[in-house]
Amino acid sequence: MTVHEVPSGTRAFDWTVPDEWTIRDAFIEDQDGRRVVDFAHCNLHVVGYSEPVDRCVYLDELQQHLHSIPDMPDAIPYVTSYYVRRWGFCLSQRQRDSLKPGRYRVRIDSTLAPGSLTYGEVILPGRSDREVLFSTYICHPSMGNDQLSGPVLLTALARYLAQRNHDLTYRLVFIPETIGSLVYLSRHIETMRARTIAGLVVACVGDDRAWSMTQSRRGDTLSDRLCRHLLKTHAGEVVEYTYLWPDRGSDERNWCMPNVDLPVASFHRSKYGRYPEYHTSLDDLSLISANGFAGSLAFLNDFILVLESLGPWRTTSIGEPQLGKRGLYPAQFGHMCGYGDELARLMNVLAYCDGERDLVALADHIGERAIDCLPLIERLLKEGLVERAG
Ligand code: ZN
């Protein structure tokens, strides 16, 4: 991974990289000197980007700087304020209810000063310069599904891709949400527009409770079709979110805007904003699981395998080729029971290798899993019965 630092003040289209926030310590102390809220226990306790403060305040004033969730008495919410200067604390409703009237010392030992935005990039060149984009964000503190899971999964994917042959080029980016995709685009938009054939925002991919996707702005790009196809055949029960606000909510907002217009959908298990623990301290390691990750990695693996053999493919024969002499057709059968699923699949694949449909459209049309069609395409290719049409 190449790590890049982009100085505060750098322009990215309509935006500017903000000052860098450094947080060292923060607490609320009661009159007896007891720390009733302590950043050292959980870094969600401080509103992200809080400006420094060291004051004594009465409870009434303190309340205006506190955030909690009445319906979830044990959850510490995740709150951040990137572009408005303020300070605040997040705490569980139970903690908040236990605060007695009186004076409190509030201290946030932070700095907001020129620094840099940090992002990471892994480019895995293939034989072709046609590219697949995977992006994930790295800006949330201490949460499991909506934070850690995306970078963990893409790291595993980068390792996997580095070990196998691939025709396509893979671009994996690890960015702070929103400003990160804008900065990244400001440096690479021409290349990405010219080369990107598909892509996914990978976010919230560690739990095992749901399978979901968010459409690209167009809703029918290769990424949308492939994501939809794989989810349908992997998971059965699939939730598909549109590109309409507020269903869209991560970096697809920038990847897909009209003057960028990359074919990028999003892949999730339980999507951000759609599960109870979202943006709270309850989105912790207990929520994500090995099973969740394994399922998500298998999904991305299939996503890549289909893209690598996407076609469209075209049959080389006029009329049906004679499969029997190539050992692809049963020597004899007397009635319908002689047809196996495998043969049906082969015959249908062959009939729709028409030079127009890519593998996703072909599989959708014949009602098969694209993944199951791959070995057949390979076999037909070996026999010289199909060729690449595109
Ligand atoms: Zn989030």
Q: How far is the CA of 141 from the centre of ligand 1 (A)?
A: 10
Would the pLDDT of 119 be above 80?
A: yes
pLDDT tier at 141 (50, 70, 90 boundaries)? very high
* Three-state secondary structure call for residue 23: strand
Say whether the peptide bond before residue 246 is cis (omega within 30 degrees of 0): yes
Q: How far is the CA of 204 from the centre of ligand 1 (A)?
A: 9
From CA 81, how far away is CA 12, in angstroms rounded?
A: 20
Which residues are in the CB-under-5-Å shell of ion ligand 1? 146, 272
pLDDT (tens digit per residue) in 91-118: 999 999 999 999 999 999 999 999 999 9
Q: How far is the CA of 249 from the centre of ligand 1 (A)?
A: 9
| E-strand stretches of the chain | 2-7, 11-12, 15-16, 20-29, 35-38, 53-58, 66-67, 89-90, 103-113, 116-124, 131-137, 169-175, 196-202, 212-214, 239-241, 264-268, 313-315, 386-388
What is the average pLDDT score of the chain? 95
pLDDT tier at 339 (50, 70, 90 boundaries)? low
Written as one string, the DSSP assignment of 97-125 is HTPPSSEEEEEEEEEEES-EEEEEEEEE-
Q: What is the C-alpha radius of gyration for the chain, rounded to an integer number of angstroms?
A: 26
Tally of CB atoms within 10 A around 162: 11
Q: How far is the CA of 250 from the centre of ligand 1 (A)?
A: 8
Written as one string, the DSSP assignment of 334-380 is SSGGG--HHHHHHHHHHHT-BSSS-HHHHHHHHT--HHHHHHHHHHH
* pLDDT score recorded for residue 333: 59
* pLDDT score recorded for residue 82: 82
Are 203 and 150 in contact, with CB atoms under 8 Å apart?
yes
Q: What's the whole-number mean pLDDT along residues 153-162?
A: 97
From CA 319, how far away is CA 326, in angstroms rounded?
A: 16
CA nearest to 133, candidates 207, 88, 89, 197: 197
Kindly state the DSSP code that residue 191 receives in the 8-state scheme: H
CA torsion 223-220-244-277 (nearest 10°) is -40
In a 13 Å sphere around the CA of 23, the CA atoms on its Cβ side amount to: 22
Say whether the peptide bond before residue 312 is cis (omega within 30 degrees of 0): yes
Residue type, position 274, single letter: R
pLDDT (tens digit per residue) in 176-222: 999 999 999 999 999 999 999 999 999 999 999 999 999 999 999 99
Q: How far is the CA of 226 from the centre of ligand 1 (A)?
A: 25
pLDDT tier at 342 (50, 70, 90 boundaries)? confident
Which structure tokens are listed for 251? 């970096």
Is the Cα torsion angle 78, 83, 89, 94 positive or negative in sign?
Answer: negative
Q: How far is the CA of 218 from the centre of ligand 1 (A)?
A: 23
Q: What's the whole-number mean pLDDT along residues 21-25?
A: 97
pLDDT tier at 330 (50, 70, 90 boundaries)? confident
Q: How far is the CA of 139 from the centre of ligand 1 (A)?
A: 9
Q: How far is the CA of 13 from the centre of ligand 1 (A)?
A: 23
* pLDDT score recorded for residue 359: 98
Which phi-psi region, left, alpha or beta, contains residue 23 (left: φ > 0; alpha: ψ -120 to 50)? beta
pLDDT (tens digit per residue) in 266-304: 999 999 999 999 999 999 999 999 999 999 999 999 999
Q: What's the whole-number mean pLDDT along residues 78-102?
A: 95
Going from the C-alpha of 195 to that of each of 127, 129, 218, 382, the distances in angstroms are 13, 7, 18, 29
CB proximity list for 361: less than 8 A, separation 6 or greater: 225
Note if the pTM is more than 0.85: yes
